[in-house]
Amino acid sequence: MEETVIVQPKELHQLIQTKLEKSGLKPEHANEVAKHLVFADANGIHSHGAVRVDYYAERIAKGGVTLEPKITFEKTGPSTGIVHGENGVGQFVALKSLEYAMDVAKESGVAVVGVRRMSHSGALSYYVKKAAEQDLIAISMCQSDPMVVPFGGKENYFGTNPIAFAAPRKVGDPVVFDMATTVQAWGKILDARSKNKDIPDTWAVDSEGKPTTNPHDVHGLLPIAGPKGFGLMMMVDILSGMLLGLPFGKNVSSMYNDLTKGRDLGQIFILIDPKRFTDLEQFKENIETMVSDLHAIPVAEGFKQVYYPGEINQLNFENYMANGIPIATAIYDYLTSDTIHFNQYGGSNAFAEKE
């Protein structure tokens, strides 16, 4: 049984912000990262929540994040642009990039905005949900370091390369869907490690290319649905890396290898204003009808309800924000300690292992 402690959102936010400020991050940037990580934990996406603070703090303290980046927006056309992030902390750079993209979408109806040279930006659902709350349809993708065995291969090439989507609805919170293009995100395995918990043998392979249930033995993740997931992760890398003139595939920088250098990652936002295509209120009503239709479908044996993709995360969010968020005791002990970081990630491979 994993040991957890229930932490109220405000306390968790303050603990994270304090730790990041002590590592060297500006208060404004630390505040945004803390908002993001609390959002992830409250959604039940613990792989992108407080479990990341120790790593972030180590990278920040060692100079791998630009503390005062000059974030600029280069508009390259009526609906396109590039944000230059100067390897600032990813969550802050991505939020500023989203704000630029939303302005463009509201002005021209569509926005395609790429983000060049940023640090790890966390759960993409955070950003697309914000856009949908402004009555925009949003898609975001980002590249990550190579840790996935391609379909039919034995060596890692692409990253987990996630895709997120959100759309506004009439009554409830936006429909939000966020997925890695692997069977499971690396962060989920990192979360399992922190809890000393086995993983399903369909998630990853060991150094011999064999399925493993031990999160500490993982040497390669598996693409979702075999060649289909492989194709999606290639698409994500092209759109969020190659399209922006950044390193791609096996050349994407390692999350853990050299924490003194910026990561030079890419992300892309594709925003659509529904009003340019249909009646906005009818569109939102149709999303509401779709949700109701899905809820009304008779359930298969062993299930309580048909949920739309991403709905369980939203239910988690409502519950945890009201009643407190479960955090691994070891992580909470770290957050409440005087330790800035444990110096455990630098020089590690893609799976946070010393080589």
- Quick: pLDDT tens for 159-181: 999 999 999 999 989 999 999 99
Residues making up the chain, counted from first to last:
355
d(CA 98, CA 225): 30
If you ran DSSP here, which 8-state letter would residue 298 be given? P
Count CB-CB contacts under 10 A for residue 44: 18
Q: Cα–chain-centroid distance for residue 288?
A: 26
Q: Cα–chain-centroid distance for residue 45?
A: 9
d(CA 214, CA 78): 50
d(CA 193, CA 53): 15
Count CB-CB contacts under 10 A for residue 320: 21
Is 84 among the residues known to form the active site?
Answer: no
If you ran DSSP here, which 8-state letter would residue 87 be given? T
Angle of helix 9-23 relative to helix 53-61, nearest 10 degrees, comes to 20
Model pLDDT, residue 301: 96
* Type of residue found at 40: A
Model pLDDT, residue 295: 97
* Type of residue found at 118: M
Catalytic residue among 36, 46, 120, 341: 120
d(CA 334, CA 54): 8
d(CA 267, CA 255): 15
The rounded average pLDDT for each run of 10 residues, N- to C-terminus, in the chain (355 residues) is 88 98 98 98 95 97 97 98 98 98 98 98 98 98 94 90 97 95 85 88 89 92 95 98 97 94 97 98 97 97 96 97 96 97 90 75
Model pLDDT, residue 110: 98
Model pLDDT, residue 137: 98
Closest CA to 140 of 117, 122, 158, 119: 122
Model pLDDT, residue 81: 98
- Number of H-type helices and E-type strands within the chain: 10, 11
Write the pLDDT tens digit of every residue in 23-63: 999 999 999 999 999 999 999 999 899 999 999 999 999 99
Count CB-CB contacts under 10 A for residue 1: 5
DSSP, collapsed to helix, strand or coil, labels residue 56 as: helix
Model pLDDT, residue 12: 98
Parse the chain into domains and list their residue ranges: 4-279+311-335
Model pLDDT, residue 355: 66
d(CA 54, CA 59): 9
CATH code, residues 4-279+311-335? 3.30.1370.60
